[in-house]
Chain A
Amino acid sequence: MGSFPKFGAFVLRAQEKSGRTCINGLPVASPSKQMLGRFPYLQSLRHDNLCVYLHFSETVIARDLVIVVMEHHTTTLGNALKSGDLKDESTKNSYYIEISSALEYLHRNAVTHGFLDISSVFVTRNKKSTVKLSGYGLPFLTNHGKDIASSLKFDVFLAPERILNEDESLLAATYQSDVWEMGFVLLQIYLGITLVPDVSETEYLEILNKSFSSPSTAKEYSIMDDITQLLAEKKRLPYHKKCDWLEEVIRSCLRIQCSERPLIPEVASSIRENTTETPTVESKTDNNDEYKIKTVDEMRAKVRENIAKDSDGFEKLSLENSFHLWKTCGSTPEIILLKKGTIQNHAPISSYPSIRYDDFNQVDPGVDSQSTFDYGVFELPQQRTLERIEKEQKVSAKMFHKIGIINNPDHHLNGNILYETASEMLTMDHLLNATAVFGVSSVIPHLSKNGVISTQRADVWCTLLDINETKWRDYLNLDILAPHSSDRQLEVDIPRCHQYDSFMTTPAIQESLRKVLKGWQIITEADNYVYWQGCDSLATPFLLANMSKPHIAYACFKEFTHRYCHKFYLKDNSEVIKEYLGIFYHLVAYVDPVLYKHLKNNGFDAELFAIPWFLTCFAHELPLAKLVRLWDETMLHGNAFPLMIALAMLNRLRDKLLAVSFNEMIIIIHDQPDLSIEDIIRNARGYESLIPPSCTFRTHASPWKENCSGEVFRLPNTMTGLSLGDLSQLHCPRLSSEELLWRIERQMIYVIDTRQESEYQAEHFTISFNHPNNNEADIEWLRFIPGIVKSELPKCFIYGKNDKTVTEKLAETYVMKGVPYVCVLHEPFESVKNRSPFVIKS
């Protein structure tokens, strides 16, 4: 079971700030929150020779500790050097390249390492030996140490300017101090030994003292030769193959004046030039070639090969997914570190302060923290995870291939949630990659059956929303930094947006949200769009899914609003909203006439509660965890799906609403805390299949149409919009002629014809019933129609060109008498085109 990755955790103590309130009255982001906000950027860094950052959490019990989890390996470069394994010149060469290119990558992304030494470099031995740098970016994460209260243990060979700078934060690392520290790593690889203990700290400092004190030392003086000379004097200088260019590189890295050292990109390119090997190209193709294969045959061959090897398949999971699996095994890093005694907790009463005043200030400096912890990186145990995996079945690659050629009923993974999840992740990866060929619709059945795993949500959403470069290009060309008219409003709204969520309280994420919203505004201003309160809530989930990529969050946000909140953010949106609410109430009348009547009688209009629902697509109403589930589902459906959700939301409060009148209704309607989102989704799906699609017709509906649902959703539609006045006069939805004919053909409708009997006899639809007296809603007559009582099919009232008003009134009367599924045709009988195949003429 070698391929399940290892995870290492380390603990930092965040500074506690005493002054805790901003001018706007909201709490100041604590240093631990600030770090939390910066973490996603570190997490987004990917390079073959960098360990991946996976997880950052504030501890629940002791609130000033934070836990960082990253990819972990057993052997450090220090171990490898000590054991004398590292003799091979070509391995050494590839290490030089890997280390320098990893650092170059970090610097390209404006991150300093700050922690580079032979114990923070791991040696991995998969197919060939490679190195991975770990512990990087702490200066960035901790704001150069200002945000942490615990110290870090640095290597002996810290750059001289950092040692001198000790009064300042120890993390005062710069790009050029990385160069120095890399020099020492390179030197130790070159010599094939660890310098400690042969060069002690005292000796190192002496060398520095000597080279800094003597006035004759040139600025470009390098201490490399001092080190080798010291070793030689001690007779500890090992045999090493002399390499002039490399010595020159190391020498230049170890110049005492930081400005005299070369830049990392220069070092990296000179190493590349001087080494003939090109291992990076090879190693790059190692992991990802799975998805780069183009042809089906190659794919099959690969799968067969995997099965033949019977490898366990975990190597195919990304590290995030593996860590997600690890977490599903029921533990958190915090609990594990507590159990192992790495974090020690103390009773809160013992650290109680003696006085608090002003803005949460305290004076007792000696007050202990509630917890202490051990320093270092701790490998998180994975035995539990692996046992759970292996308990029921033997691990094999077969289990991970549910799609394609493997379709063996023997390999049901029933009961083992871990396998299910792992397999799910891989299947989803495959499907997402395949959408380029098979289209978005190919993933939808799978998604609607299995849902979305949180680690894959960003990719799934991008796929469903069809996000590509064209959708974010505009955003990249904006001057987001320039002042804008909306700045003040954003200043007010953003710090209040979804504040229960940890990430949303961090300055980094708030700043990104500001950029996304500002970008969206600058771009949509031309279309007369404005920022409405609620935009912030709506954009948030996309940002949280793409924390280090605001441009993608922007593209998702824009596309989502285009589809599901179309024109809601127009400067004058009253017409759009009113139409939407009108249609919503028609649908209520359609599915639940009893409730509709009650609401209407009490004057409880949709304006009173549903505007925030639709304006923010429930983002203002629901906590994020529930919201994202709802949106996972929404994105699989057409632009009318929010209406279905609203019906489901209303339905769950039905009994309560029916029992009370106006005043209590207002209170009840906002009571959503223990709402089961799965129930809502199930009901919303139910409504979608129940309600004829053309009943949701809106003039201002999004032009975007999904084309994955049934045929009936794709029918043409010749309906035209109603004036708001007409809309409010109507008490049931309208059906399009196209859908009417489609349903008549399939006998999926009850057609009730209100024309005079003579007209009816002259020409009528094949399966229609002639209503006897248009001035009276006759329930007994209606019940007489075969099967109608139990049927969920629409009852469509059709009328002649002179009977429109009276028919609408009739339909209303039926609705008010509690008859469900009532709708009227949007045009008179005579206007229905192409009706001839479906009519009987006398």
Chain B
Amino acid sequence: MPEVARCNEEGPNELTATICEFVINAPEYCSEKEIRINVPIPLPEYTYLEDYLGKLRAQPSGKFLDYEDAKESLRKFIYNETVKYQNRQTDMITEAALKKKQEMGMPLFQPSRNRRLLEPRRKPTVPFEEKFTFVVEQSSSENLLTLMRMEVFMKKQMTDMIRARNWEVDQLSKQCEKLVAETGDPDMHPHKISMLNEKLRQVHTTYSFQVADLSDSQKAKYRKAVDSLHTRGSIPAALLDDVVLDEQAIPRPIATTSGDHAEGVNESFTIYVGSQLKSMHNVCLVTVDRLTDLCQTLEGDWTTSSRLEMATKLFSRNLSGTTLLVPRDPMTHINSSSDFFKICEQSTELHFDSLGDQLKKVAIANRARNNWRADQIDEEAARYVSEGKAPPEQPIPSSALRQDPTCTIGDVYITRHSNLHKVQIVYHLVVDETLQSVEINSRHPCLAGIRNIIRTAARYNTSTIHIPLLLIDRPDESTTIAWCLKRAEMLFKCVKGYLMEVCSGMDVESLPHYNVHFVLPSGLSKTIYDAIKHMFPNIFQLVPGVSS
């Protein structure tokens, strides 16, 4: 049965797949003389010879063909046509490359660095994080304790300085206020007031230099100490000179006053996620006054043991993260000295960039992203124009977007910290005021933001995360019972879905386990807390016997 092959190249662009017609002679007793099918060359991914053979056999006379013979003919046909296709493509690419290189006057073939480009090897110098990990794992407990005491002492230094500054600023502001109050008219003593203001500015500047100096020197000292522990196994005495190693000076952990959070719900559940293969997770409902409370180090939190805990977790595969709700401009933290900023400045960030520097990087990344988006808008507009249509109206013109370093609602920017309480990662979810009162659906950008938080957490081994259940920091008059329940239900359901997503496609042995904390603001009515607590088991599947 000799077969004939005909090939129709579709269109002038040879790079697209071609449709080739395979023709095979039918056995003589069939009414049809030939059986023909179209085969795309190259075969589309995930289709195989057998599939086209099935197609051939499904033709009216196809079942009379000898299976193996037909298979061999079709195989040869596809192979030969694919070789031809590949050759055409190779020729085209080769010619283009030759032309390009000839135009540029380059030799056609030259040793290429590209071809030698292999997986980047580890950097020859050991990075600080590895030294630190080594030190934490290998040092004697004595050395480690000394290092932690250094941290405690440094924190005290910094806190004292900040406190002094705050006191001075406070005094000046009070004077200012007093002056204004006395006269009742701010325009009366412009000279005095501007003097005070000038003084205030000076205090700020002086202190900011001092703080920067102190933090630089602390960082340098700390790094030296770790370096020396890494290489020599001891800390040079010079670094410890001014460190007060007096036991008395080291704060003792203070028993947490349970009265603070007696209000609201504080309960934990163990849940299953998934329909067939179930993974187990812990979920807590917690109530706090402000979201920043979750990462705030209180007096007495900063002990050698809490520092040691941070040291062991910092570069581990078991990170903790919390979520803050922030406005669009990442620099707001610095510019209007947010609560979070105030928490961060209490001690030197010894491992990562300072908050300010990290936020600057976020702003740069934002600009790149906004540029990219502007490019897309321009491209789309150009496409519309080329098709003779009016480009769609954009909320922000692309030119304005290019200048914009701020985030969009639903974006998440991330900062890393070694000087917070129990968390290393902070997710800053960008929100606006409307979130305080509107009803949202599952396609709201902020929920996409929550999803990104969970996906990022999963990708970077962050097993403990805090999520504001109502997506608000503090309740106000619009926080009604109905609103709260609706919002809570939405968050519960979405987070459940997101958890399922990050747990899928895993091997049974490597199923992840997450601790998710849903954070509620204090000051809601007991009815709301109770209703939310009762809603939980209706949405999540509790592990029987573990949760009550």
Query: Which residues in A have some Cβ–Cβ distance to B below 8 Å?
Result: 13, 20, 27, 33, 60-61, 63, 107-108, 110, 143, 150-151, 153-154, 160-161, 163-168, 170, 172, 174-177, 201-202, 205-206, 208-209, 212-213, 257-259, 263, 344, 346-361, 363-364, 370, 372-375, 475-482, 498-502, 505, 507-508, 511-512, 515, 551, 620-625, 656, 668, 671, 673
Contacts and interface: CB of A to CB of B under 8 A. Distances in A.
Interface in B106-159: 107-112, 114-122, 127, 129, 133
B414 A353 contact: yes
B290 interface: no
A580 to B, nearest CB: 22
Contacts of B283: none
A482 B78 CA distance: 19
Contacts of A501: 277, 505
Given A110-B49, A263-B83, A349-B314, A360 B90 contact: no
B57 interface: yes
Interface residues on B, range: 35 or more
A357 B272 contact: no
Given A209-B108, A363-B365, A358 B448 contact: yes
Given A208-B109, A352-B416, A356-B412, A500 B51 contact: no
Contacts of A258: 86-87, 90-91
Contacts of B78: 110
B501 interface: yes
A161 B277 CA distance: 48
B93 A161 contact: yes
Contact of B369 (A209, A259, A352, A355): A355
A348 B461 contact: yes
Query: Could you say which of A143, A344, A347, A668 has the most chain B C-beta atoms within 10 Å of its C-beta?
Result: A347
Nearest to B509: A60
Given A205-B109, A502-B507, A375 B460 contact: no
A278 to B, nearest CB: 22
A469 to B, nearest CB: 10
Contact of A108 (B75, B80, B507): B75
Nearest to B442: A25
Contacts of B276: 498, 500, 620-624
Contact of B410 (A153, A353, A357, A551): A357
A823 B509 CA distance: 46
Contact of A354 (B50, B413, B448): B413
Nearest to B86: A174
B115 A170 contact: yes
A176 B86 contact: yes
Interface string B23-63: 00000000000000000000101111111111101100011
A363 B369 contact: yes
Nearest to B47: A481
A480 to B, nearest CB: 5
Interface stretch (B196-204, B212-220, B339-347, B451-459): B451-459
Contact of B361 (A172, A354, A551, A621): A354
B362 interface: yes
Given A165-B93, A165-B97, A481-B47, A150 B119 contact: yes
B2 interface: no
Contact of A374 (B115, B119, B411, B505): B119
A355 B108 contact: no
Nearest to A625: B508
Contacts of A213: 108
Contacts of B45: 143, 507
Contacts of B91: 257-259
B108 A354 contact: no
A357 B460 contact: no
Nearest to A550: B50
A823 B182 CA distance: 102
Contacts of B501: 27
A176 B416 contact: no
Contacts of B93: 161, 164-165, 168, 172
A177 B83 CA distance: 10
B57 A355 contact: no
B72 to A, nearest CB: 10
A758 B83 CA distance: 92
B482 interface: no
Given A163-B109, A357-B411, A476-B67, A348 B462 contact: yes
A348 B318 CA distance: 9
A355 B508 contact: no
A375 B118 contact: yes
A481 B274 CA distance: 33
Contacts of B63: 477
B82 interface: yes
Nearest to A204: B109
Contacts of A352: 414, 416, 425, 456, 460
A372 B369 contact: no
Contacts of A209: 107-109
A202 B408 CA distance: 53
B119 A212 contact: no
A429 B532 CA distance: 59
B6 interface: no
A356 B456 contact: yes
A172 B90 CA distance: 9
Contacts of B127: 350
A175 B42 CA distance: 12
Contacts of A201: 111
Contacts of B306: none
24 contacts: A60-B507, A61-B317, A110-B43, A151-B119, A164-B109, A176-B90, A209-B107, A349-B315, A354-B358, A355-B413, A356-B455, A360-B455, A374-B119, A477-B58, A478-B58, A481-B52, A481-B55, A500-B506, A515-B51, A623-B276, A668-B544, A671-B541, A671-B544, A673-B278
B316 interface: yes
Given A354-B365, A372-B122, A620-B276, A349 B416 contact: yes
A500 B277 contact: yes
A688 to B, nearest CB: 25
Interface in B486-512: 501, 503-510
A480 B51 contact: yes
Query: Could you say which of A209, A363, A370, A620 has the most chain B C-beta atoms within 10 Å of its C-beta?
Result: A363
Contact of B55 (A108, A349, A482): A482
Contact of A375 (B109, B119, B462): B119
B208 interface: no
A505 B505 contact: yes
Contacts of B108: 164, 208-209, 212-213
B504 A499 contact: yes
Contacts of A206: 109
B536 interface: no
A107 B57 CA distance: 23
Contacts of B52: 481
B424 interface: yes
Interface string B340-363: 000000000000000000100110
Sorted from nearest, which 9 A-B pairs have the closest CB atoms? A347-B315, A479-B58, A623-B277, A500-B277, A205-B109, A174-B86, A511-B46, A477-B57, A259-B87
B368 interface: yes
Nearest to B452: A356
A479 B508 CA distance: 37
B94 interface: yes
Given A168-B93, A502-B507, A355 B448 contact: no
B207 interface: no
B315 A350 contact: yes
A110 B111 CA distance: 31
A625 B277 CA distance: 9
A502 B508 CA distance: 10
Given A176-B90, A481-B51, A151 B117 contact: yes
Contacts of B89: 174
Given A209-B108, A372-B119, A500-B276, A356 B54 contact: no
Given A351-B460, A352-B425, A353-B414, A161 B94 contact: yes
